[in-house]
A = this chain, B = another copy of it.
Amino acid sequence: MFNRILVPFDGSVGGEAALEKAAELAQLCGAELNILTVYRHHSMLEASFSMVRPSDPGNLDDVMQDHAREVAEHGKKRAAEAGAGNVRAFIKAGQPARTIVGFADEHGNDCIVIGSRGLGSVEGYLLGSVSHKVTALAEMPVLVI
């Protein structure tokens, strides 16, 4: 039914539920499972609004990238435990919904499995959740968990 399933994973409880369903679906279809952890670049503009200034802003990007890599690797382990045989983990910086859909287009994913909670933010709450935006932007089927 599907050949290469994408599951965005942020390490949240809602993300874990989506990850498990994605692993189950991948196993059922004999599909490859791609796990994507999206992180945001540290922005000097955002930092300028913050009351707490990091002593070394350059390092913040590295810290966020390292954290994203840990989350993605944790997701890969969980997906394998949930029965997925062919799992690859990726990290990518950017705005969540557009980064997820862009990744799916580039990597030939024919299905996106996404949690409906857990990826939110105040901005997301106001403009529509990440899962809603992904559903609206994506041209492939989206399974919202």
Q: Which residues of A contact B (CB under 8 A)?
A: 1, 21, 24-25, 28-29, 116, 131-132, 135-136, 141-145
Partner of A28, one of B28, B116, B131: B28
A132: chain B residues at CB < 8 Å are 132, 135-136
Identical copies in the complex: 2
Partner of A144, one of B1, B24, B144: B144
Partner of A142, one of B25, B29, B136, B144: B144
A17 to chain B, nearest CB (A): 9
A21: chain B residues at CB < 8 Å are 1, 141
A116: chain B residues at CB < 8 Å are 135
A144-B116 Cα distance, complex, nearest whole Å: 13
A and B contact pairs by CB, cutoff 8 A, 8 listed: A1-B25, A1-B28, A28-B29, A131-B135, A135-B144, A141-B144, A142-B143, A144-B144
